[in-house]
Structures are given as C-alpha cells and as structure tokens.
Amino acid sequence: MRKIFATCPKGLEEILAKELTSLGAKKTSLTVAGVFAEGDIIFIYKSCLWSRIANRILLPLAKFQVTSDSDLYNGIKNIPWETHFTPRESIAVNFSGSNDVIRHTQFGAQRVKDGIVDKLNEHYNDRSDVDLKNPDIRINVRLSKDQANVSFDMSGDSLHKRGYRKAMVAATLKENLAAALLFRADWPNLSIKGGAIIDPMCGSGTLLIEAALIAADIAPNLNREKFGFHGWLQHDCNLWFQIRSDALDRCAVGLAKELPEIRGYDKDSKAIVAAQENIISAGLDRHIRVISKPLVAFKLPTHKKIRCGLVICNPPYGERWGDVEDLKPLYRDLGEILKRECPGWKFAVITGNSELSGELKLRSEKKYQIFNGAIPSQLILYQLNNLTDRVVSSFQKKIISEKKQISEGASMLFNRLKKNTRKLNGWIKQSNINSYRLYDSDIPEYAVVIDIYGDSVHIQEYAPPLYIDPNQSKKHLKEVREAVTSFFDEQHSRLIFKERRRQKGSSQYHPKNDKNSEDYIFNLTENGYIFEINMSAYLDTGLFLDHRPVRRLIHGLSQNKRFLNLFCYTASATIYAIKGGAKSSLSIDMSKTYVDWAKRNFSLNSICSKSNELIREDCLVWLDKNVKNKDKLNQYDLVFLDPPTFSNSKKMDSTFDVQRDHIELIKKSMLLLDQNGTLVFTNNFRNFSMSSDIIERYQVCNISDKTFDPDFQRNKKIHNCWIIKHAK
C-alpha cells in the first residue's frame, strides 16, 4: 500500500475523497485543498487517469525539519533519487511556502534542484537538465512550519488540463472545477435517467464537454500523452497499458451509445466558434451541439421530447467583466426565462456575487462555497417547479387537510397499499433499492399487481375469470384505479395501467401502447447497475423484480467463470455476472427486441463486447448444434437457464412447454457445462415439477425459498429455482 496526497481547489475536498474511494482508495482523510489517501499502484494510476476533480497526485517521499538552507539541501540529497529516475530525465521543482531562512520560493526551488542533481551526479556521474515548461519529472516541495514535505508528482502537468481546450474565452472555468460543479448538481444521476443538460451562456464549452465525458464514461485524461510516472523507474508499463486499454474500451462503448441531449448557447459568435473547436478536439462533436443565440431567445429543444434536465451556467458577476448594476437585468431575465421555459428542471448557477443571484427571484435548494480561481464564489442549486405545482402550492395546505372522498372498496385497497408500504419501508431503505413489488392481488377482489420503478408505478390488471360478472369486474377495476390514483398522486409522476393475459407466440414482444411510449422509457439503477425500463410499450418492463435475488446469486458465483445465459431476455443476469467477475459471457435470445435491448443495457454499464457476446438465435436450435460439436462441450463454468413457460413463436419449428421439455433442455445444457460447473435453472410455471430423471442423474438442489426478497414473500409461486451440478 502506498500513501498519496491529491490536491484540488478549495471547497472540493469532499467530492474528491468520494471519487478517490470509488477509484480504489482504502482510506481517505481531508485537509484544506487536498485529500490524503492510501491504495495500491493500480489505484494511483487510475487516479491520474480517471480523477475529474484532482489537480495533482503526489507520492510523498520524505519530510524533514528546515531551519537553514543547508537543512533543505541535505534533506533533499539524502533521498534516494537514483531509485526514482536517472539524469536522462529532465526535472522541474514546484516549491511553495516559506520560513525565516527560506523566504523566496525561487531560492527554495534552487536548493532542492541542487540537492537532486548532486545526488544523481554522485550515483550516475551525470547531471540532470532542468525544463520548467515540459519536464519529464516534477518534484513538489511544500514548506510549512519549518517542515519540508517532499513528493514525486505522479500526474506531471496539472490534471485539470485535459488537452481538449484549444480555444479560450474570458472568464473560463477550469475543467476540474466544471466537473465538480456537475457532480454537485447531480448530473451523473440525471444523465443516467436520460436527462438533458443545457448551458445558455456556454462560452468555450467547458461545462458541456465535461458533462459529455461524464455521461459517456470517458476518462478525463485519456488523451494525455505524458504523466509524471512515465519517467519513474518504478513505473509498471504493462499494468498501465491494461488500465488505459480498459479506459479506451469504456470510451468506445460510451461514444457508441446515444448520449443525453447536450446543448449550449451563447450570444457571442466567437465564443461558439471556440466551443466548437474544443468540442471537436475532445472528439465529442457528434454528441454536443452549440449555437449562437442570445438569452432572450432561449427555448428548450423541440426536435424530441425531453422530460427532465439540468440548466447550468457561469454568467458574468462583475468581478472580471461588466458592472454589477448593468448585470442585474441579465439575472432577472435568466430567472424569468427559466421559470417559463424549463418547468420541472434543475438549475445550477455559479456566481461570485450574492446580490446578483438575488435578482434571479428563485428559491434556492442548496448553496455550496467554492473558489473560482482566487475568487470566492457559490454554486447555487434550484428546482424549477412545474406550472401546475406552482398553482397547486397556494392551496397545498388546504388539500392536505381535506381527506379525499373515495368509495368504500377503493378505500379498502388504499389502506392495504398504505400497510404494505409501512411493512416494506425499512427493508427498502436498508437495501438501497427503488424498484419493488408493493401489491400482488392481496385482496382477491382487486386482482392487480402494483410494481414501483423509481418514481413510476406499473399497475397490471389481471383479466377476470369468465365466471365473474363483467359489471362487477368493471366496478372493481374502477375502484383499483380510484385507489391507486389517490394513493400515488403526490408521490409518483407516472402511472401505467395494463391488462395481463396469457401471451400467444411473440405477442409479448409487440408494443402494447404506441402513444407517447417514449415518455415512459428511462434508466433504473439496481445494486449500482443500470437497466433500461420501458413502462408502456410491452407487457414486460425489461427487468423482472422477482429475480433480484437470483441476479445476486449469479453475481456471487461468477468470479473468473465462463458464463452462458440462455433465453437471456434483456441480459440483466449477464450484467450481474460480468460485474461479478466473469471472464467471458455468451447471451442468447430469439427476440430481436430483447437482444437490441440487451445491447443498450451493455452500453449503459460500459460493458465491452469483445469477451461478452450477444446472439439472436433460437436457444433450442443453438443447443442442438453445440452439443453435437465436441469442441463446445464442457466449455462453460456457469449457465443460467430461464426458459419461458410456453412458446409457439413463428420463429420456432415446434412449440415449447417447460414441463414437457425441461428434461432435454437441462441435459443438453449440462453437456456444455464444465464438470465442476453450476447450472442455475429457473422458470415461472406455478405447477412445475422437476423430473425424477434429472434428480437422479445430477446433483439437484431446490433453492426457490431462498430466492424471494420481502416484497415477494406473499407469492412464492411466482418462480422456481434450482442449482444443478454434475454428479460426483
């Protein structure tokens, strides 16, 4: 384990600590303008490549007392520099601080340089060159309270210099500060949900470029040609190559997917030209659009529906250009325009003048103290309310105090929803999930399933049995809608009602509701992994909630395994396997809809397709072909087999019935499984019975009872699950 010190602008220490932890730091502690951290060399390399917040990554070498200039010289000379670099590498010294004997940083830097050069000369009989502009090696020395702290600069040039900025305009934000502001404004989560970002005063485009790099999962320093560790004798070239190659793969995946809408406007056409040059330099010209447009002409894009987003900008605030009184109308216009054009959006503004921010006439949610260079500033966050929210708010207290009048039947269902919510609330918070089943025909008269997906509610109405009076059935469904609408009206923004009935052939793949279906497509996070959810277009949403424990099981079994997913659906299990450490995967499904959906899920999770293959094919046909090929036998360590209960798709030559056909299906799958491998077999046929032939031939363990989270404890017939292994 090695200790490092990562520097950053003041006010960003907390964000940097979280970032370093995500990159592999085992321990962090904060100080002014920096974070101490511990980790291995992989963590250090990743910090240099992936940190969006840090200025420098410093590797401490020594610390000693300095009460004379000779103390500084001797302390530096005692460090074994010959183990870090040779005289062939040029050097530069960054010296800061002073005391009674070292009063000038230039003198301090000179004494440090002398000590390094003399030590290397003694060892190599050669002297290093000094290059202040583009050195191979940077040494950092901080003198504070008579103590010199000496570090090797692993980053080289400051990490905020990503390399894409080719053109400049006045009052430009540094890249790492821009990234930090985006983190504070919750852009990473918003981008995952498909939210847009717009900068109405974009200048040279720094905020937009950093937003795109985050959304596309691109390492901010991927295009840097040189880091400080490149001249370090202890540099591991092979390890660095692997880390950078992984980042390149993630970049390719990110650029291949459709990013959120990212737009910028500026009244200054020269600024737009500069922004375009920088965007092209960053390789993001396909994903970011900038246009010369004055603030008064600002409107949301209309070429496609954008449900939510973030407006962020760094307007002038009189400290660098423009007079405060002259700028007040600009801020007033900005506040009015955003209230009118962006209801429901988030707004973030950077300002160094609280008087001007007051002219926005908006109520802030949060304020963060930051430093824009040497200027004390604030990042202020706002939630722009919907127009209907603003109308309702004036009557809110009255509405809350007045109990809604609903029918007796609806009231009974309403109370059950309330009871279930209380029962699950503790588990939901502890599990850190936001998708779960709230209700599943708890009251027989109200035969519906209610699933929560983030801020969306998915209500599936079972088709009533033929013996039920149609009029009574309609009354019950009307009461269901009444109860659900009343229960969720202030908590969730989307209510989707569907009717469930047995699907024939490929009808489950066909859209159920073509109107405004784009409004109900969003990304959902489960255990840190991202999945596309479609609430309206198909009967299924893209993620089976009851299989959550099965996905966790696969995650735990996948380390270093070759994984096969048959009937893969949208490949959620494959994503868990890959993130669990599977060294390769193959996922197969007959449906083009699902295979394409799986590809989008791969992109959302930055999964490289080189060792993780998706195939569109009939799984039964694929199995028949592969069991006849000796080279294909025993080549998987973990197989997930989740067939449909019944299928008579036109793409198949015959029908499939899981009870009738599971024996041959399992036998063929086991032929492809390594002798020490594991088959996870599931299905959702309520009356399924495992064949005695399978039980006698293999090691079979029914783990169904262990694969239900609290939200599915009431209905344990929803799926069956077995672990199957070869007999010893």
Torsions phi, psi for 357 (to 5 deg): -60, -30
Dump pLDDT digits (tens) for 420-457: 999 998 898 888 788 999 999 888 888 899 999 987 88
Q: What's at 674, amino acid-wise? A: D
The superfamily in CATH containing domain 175-216+257-390 is Vaccinia Virus protein VP39 (3.40.50.150)
- Residue 648, pLDDT above cutoff 90: no
Q: Categorize the per-residue pLDDT at 277 as very low, low, confident or very high, splitting at 50, 70 and 90.
A: very high
Range of weakest confidence among 53-62, 139-148, 257-266, 602-611: 602-611
Q: What is the pLDDT of residue 261?
A: 94
Q: What is the DSSP string of 124-191?
A: HS--PPB-SSS-SEEEEEEEETTEEEEEEESS-S-TT--S------TTPPPHHHHHHHHHHTTHHHHH
320: confidence class by pLDDT, cuts 50, 70, 90: very low
Which residues, 6 or more positions from 469, have their beta carbon under 8 angstroms from its beta carbon? none
Task: Give the percent of the chain with pLDDT over 90.
Answer: 68
Residue 123: pLDDT band with limits 50, 70, 90: very high
Across the range 328-334, mean pLDDT stands at: 91
52 or 344: whose pLDDT is higher?
Answer: 52
Cβ neighbours, 10 Å, residue 97: 17
Q: Is the pLDDT of residue 394 over 60?
A: no
Query: Which is more confidently placed, 524 or 649?
Result: 524
What is the Cα–Cα distance from 88 to 584, expressed in whole angstroms?
43
Domain(s) labelled CATH 3.30.2130.30 in the chain stretch across 2-153
Query: ∠ CA 367-371-372 to the nearest 5 degrees?
Result: 110
pLDDT > 70 fraction of the chain, expressed in percent and rounded: 91
Assign domain 407-501 one CATH number from 3.40.630.30, 3.30.750.80, 3.90.550.10, 3.30.460.10.
3.30.750.80
Tokens of 503: 């699907």
Greater confidence, 387 or 169? 169
Would you say residue 363 has pLDDT above 60? yes
For residue 298, report the phi and psi dihedrals to the nearest 5 degrees: -65, 130
Number of other CB atoms surrounding residue 371 within 10 Å: 15
Quote the pLDDT of residue 389: 38
- Report the first-to-last Cα separation within the chain, whole angstroms: 42
Question: pLDDT-derived band of residue 114, with 50, 70 and 90 as boundaries?
Answer: very high
At residue 493, the pLDDT reads 54
- Residue 252 has a pLDDT of 94
Convert 285-322 to b/e letters by CB count within 10 Å (16 or more is b).
eebbebeebebeebebeeeeebbbbbbbbbbbbbbeee
Give 471-513 pLDDT, tens digit per residue: 787 888 889 988 988 888 555 557 888 765 444 444 443 444 4
**570: Cβ contacts below 8 Å, ≥ 6 apart:** 531, 532, 542, 543, 594, 597, 598, 601
Strands 673-683 and 720-726, bridge-based pairing: antiparallel
Mean pLDDT of 150-172: 91
| 38 beta partners | 3, 27
Please classify residue 491 by burial: count the beta carbons closer than 10 Å to its beta carbon, then call 0-12 exposed, 13-18 middle and 19+ buried.
exposed
pLDDT at 519 over 60: no
Reduced to 3 states (helix: H, G, I; strand: E, B; else coil), residue 283 is coil
What is the Cα–Cα distance from 421 to 438, expressed in whole angstroms? 7
> Mean pLDDT over residues 605-624, rounded?
91
CA distance 351 to 630: 68
Beta strand 562-566 with 494-500 is unpaired
The pLDDT of residue 534 is above 60 = yes
- In the three-class reduction of DSSP (H, G, I as helix; E, B as strand; rest coil), residue 123 is classed as helix
Most confident segment among 84-93, 331-340, 357-366, 406-415: 84-93
| DSSP 3-state of 284 | coil
Higher per-residue pLDDT: 15 or 538: 15
Q: How far apart are CA 254 and CA 318, in angstroms?
A: 38
With contact defined as beta carbons under 8 Å apart, do 112 and 76 qualify?
Answer: yes
**For residues 24-40, average pLDDT:** 95
- pLDDT score at 703: 97
Tell me: pLDDT of 92 over 50: yes
Q: Is the pLDDT of residue 604 over 90?
A: no
Which CATH code is given to the segment(s) 2-153? 3.30.2130.30
Residue-wise pLDDT tens digits, 178-206:
999 999 999 999 998 889 999 999 999 99
- Residue 609 above 80 pLDDT? no
d(CA 371, CA 321): 17
Q: What tokens does 619 get?
A: 């799984």
Largest pairwise CA distance in the chain: 101
Domain 531-726 carries which CATH code?
Answer: 3.40.50.150
- Residues 595, 579 contacting (CB under 8 angstroms): no
Cα–Cα dist 455/21, whole Å: 29
Q: How far apart are CA 165 and CA 172, in angstroms?
A: 11
Structure tokens at 185: 């404004």
Q: In this structure, what DSSP letter does residue 381 have? A: E
Mean pLDDT of the chain: 88
Most confident among 7-21, 352-366, 523-537 (mean pLDDT): 7-21
